[in-house]
């Protein structure tokens, strides 16, 4: 691809979503440092008289702000279950045995504010993670520690700083150990892919970025992303990024569960009229059983799909592989938008929905 044609593609990225992905390795330790500023206050929110760790860590957050809840147990060994709540209500079982963290980049998300109020009511909230808004105001009023994120990004583009902050809060509560190593490993994995994309832009002579090649092949396909174990969370991140950046439908699923239902659904995939593409996110140190399932399913559904792309992790740790596979999805989703000639950043429909809800 010529420098000029890459230039004209990248011109659609007016808010520099590509730059946001490139900043991911730096975001991770930044988020951790921000949480560490409040380490003592957060630790004090768990008295510890019920045990070394809370029974569960409940993380409330939607969309780009909620993804950290999925990624934390994917990347790190957790000493208590991390439960993601993506809705208006805390589950009834959440009591003083548990601790709740509310994450909202804008601080204005109604579901997360609702969970925050319920968590305050039950005296179980450990911290909030936000740039400001109503969530910060309510946290300050209630005396809840607030990890303050840098503003000016899209929530989904702040995944590194959100993850780092959540990991720091989880560490302060005793839910994960050796947080610095976890974050370093995530940085190493993200850097593997970012490095392949820095140096391939127009300022470096126009060699085609690898994710652009994948995006060209996936363009105008209905995409299904399959993960397993820790890459199940990453498959959901891919889906959300293809939706929000690429502005097309995308679906996520996970092995081995998909072998018990989705596999059959491929039989008449062609009847939908769509051209289907499969993205396979092999997990770190995949067991023979899981690898066999990826291989056998791929061959069984070969007639139903137009294309399949398999991503084998190269990182040397599970945390690294999580962020390596995630960054591939971030880049591919951005190039899907750029190939369509649109800016990946705006999410006008989300704002329209929120505006209409506010009017009710
Ligand atoms: O990417 C987005 O803009 C959305 O997924 C938001 O993250 C989601 O609507 C929740 O908003 P916030 O992250 O501000 O709580």
Q: What is the mean pLDDT of each run of 10 residues along the chain (360 residues)?
A: 73 94 97 98 88 95 98 98 98 97 98 98 98 98 98 98 98 97 98 86 64 95 98 98 98 98 96 96 98 98 97 98 98 97 96 90
Which pLDDT does position 282 carry in this prediction?
98
Q: Which two tokens stand for residue 235?
A: 């498959």
Which pLDDT does position 269 carry in this prediction?
96
**Max CA pair span of the chain:** 64
Specify whether 354 is catalytic.
Answer: yes
Q: How far is the CA of 112 from the centre of ligand 1 (A)?
A: 10
Distance CA 217, CA 309 (A): 9
CB 197 within 8 A of CB 331: yes
Probe target for ligand 1 pocket from 87, 108, 152, 155, with the most ligand atoms within 8 Å of CB = 155
- As a whole number of Å, the end-to-end CA separation of the chain is 50
CB atoms near residue 295 (< 10 Å):
12
Which pLDDT does position 47 carry in this prediction?
80
Distance CA 254, CA 227 (A): 5
Q: How far is the CA of 131 from the centre of ligand 1 (A)?
A: 12
DSSP code, position 96: T
Distance CA 114, CA 125 (A): 12
Specify whether 247 is catalytic.
Answer: no
Q: Which two tokens stand for residue 336?
A: 């899907």
Which pLDDT does position 202 carry in this prediction?
53
Distance CA 127, CA 171 (A): 12
What are residue 143's phi and psi, to 5 degrees?
A: 70, 30
Judge if the beta carbon of residue 156 lies within 6 A of ligand 1.
Answer: yes
Specify whether 239 is catalytic.
Answer: no
Which pLDDT does position 205 carry in this prediction?
47
Which pLDDT does position 208 carry in this prediction?
81
- Closest ligand 1 atom number to CA of residue 112: 15
Contacts 24+ apart (CB under 8 A), 7-14: 7/202, 9/212, 9/335, 9/338, 9/339, 10/201, 10/202, 10/338, 12/337, 12/338, 12/341, 12/342, 12/343, 12/344, 13/334, 13/337, 13/338, 13/343, 13/344, 13/345, 14/343, 14/345
SS3 278: strand
Judge if the beta carbon of residue 109 lies within 6 A of ligand 1.
Answer: yes
Distance CA 332, CA 211 (A): 5
Q: How far is the CA of 301 from the centre of ligand 1 (A)?
A: 35
What are residue 273's phi and psi, to 5 degrees?
A: 85, -5
Helices (H), the chain: 3-10, 17-22, 24-36, 39-44, 63-75, 110-121, 133-142, 159-172, 179-197, 210-218, 230-241, 262-265, 288-300, 318-340, 348-358
Is residue 62 within a helix (H) or strand (E), and if so which, with residue range?
none
CB 349 within 8 A of CB 248: no
Which pLDDT does position 4 carry in this prediction?
56
With b for 16 or more beta-carbon neighbours within 10 A and e for fewer, the 302-317 pattern comes to eebbbebbebebebeb
Q: Which two tokens stand for residue 173?
A: 């509560």
Q: Which of 111, 185, 244, 280 is catalytic?
A: 244
Atom 14 of ligand 1: nearest residue by CA position = 106
Provide the residue count of the chain: 360
CA distances from 175 to 29, 126, 136, 285, 347 (A): 18, 12, 24, 24, 34
Q: Which two tokens stand for residue 193?
A: 């892919």
DSSP string covering 167-218, please?
HHHHHHTTSBS-HHHHHHHHHHHHHHHHHHHTTSSGGGT-PPPHHHHHHHHH
Which pLDDT does position 360 carry in this prediction?
83
Which pLDDT does position 201 carry in this prediction?
55
Atom 11 of ligand 1: nearest residue by CA position = 109
Judge if the beta carbon of residue 111 lies within 6 A of ligand 1.
Answer: no
Q: How far is the CA of 106 from the centre of ligand 1 (A)?
A: 7
- Closest ligand 1 atom number to CA of residue 103: 15
Which pLDDT does position 358 carry in this prediction?
87
Judge if the beta carbon of residue 112 lies within 6 A of ligand 1.
Answer: yes
């Amino acid at each position: 691809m010529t420098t000029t044609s890459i230039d004209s593609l990248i011109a659609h990225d007016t808010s520099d979503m590509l730059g946001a992905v490139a900043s991911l390795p730096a975001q991770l330790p930044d988020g951790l440092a921000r949480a560490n500023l409040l380490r003592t206050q957060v630790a004090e929110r768990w008295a510890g008289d019920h045990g070394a760790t809370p029974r569960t860590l409940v993380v409330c957050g939607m969309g780009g702000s909620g993804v950290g809840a999925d990624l934390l147990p994917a990347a790190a060994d957790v000493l208590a279950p991390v439960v993601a709540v993506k809705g208006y209500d805390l589950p009834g079982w959440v009591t003083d045995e548990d601790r709740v963290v509310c994450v909202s980049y804008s601080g204005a998300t109604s579901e997360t504010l609702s969970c925050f109020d319920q968590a305050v009511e039950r005296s179980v909230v450990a911290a909030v993670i936000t740039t400001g808004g109503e969530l910060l105001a309510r946290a300050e009023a209630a005396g809840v520690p607030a990890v303050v994120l840098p503003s000016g990004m899209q929530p989904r583009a702040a995944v590194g700083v959100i993850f780092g902050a959540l990991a720091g809060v989880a560490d302060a509560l005793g839910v994960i150990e050796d947080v610095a190593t976890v974050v370093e490993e995530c940085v190493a994995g993200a850097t593997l892919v970012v490095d392949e994309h820095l140096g391939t832009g127009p300022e470096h002579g126009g060699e085609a970025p690898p994710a652009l090649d994948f995006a060209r092949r996936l363009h105008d396909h209905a995409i299904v992303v399959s993960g397993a174990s820790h890459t199940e969370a990453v498959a959901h991140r891919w889906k959300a990024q293809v939706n929000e950046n690429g502005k097309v439908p995308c679906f996520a699923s996970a092995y081995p569960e998909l072998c018990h239902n989705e596999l059959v659904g491929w039989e008449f995939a062609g009847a939908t009229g769509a051209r289907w593409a499969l993205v396979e996110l092999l997990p770190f140190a995949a067991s023979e059983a899981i690898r066999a399932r990826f291989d056998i399913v791929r061959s069984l559904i070969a007639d139903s799909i137009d294309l399949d792309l398999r991503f084998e992790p190269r990182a040397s740790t599970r945390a690294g592989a999580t962020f390596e596979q995630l960054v591939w999805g971030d880049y591919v989703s951005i190039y899907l938008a750029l190939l369509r000639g649109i800016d990946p950043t705006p999410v006008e429909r989300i704002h329209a929905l929120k505006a209409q809800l506010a009017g009710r």
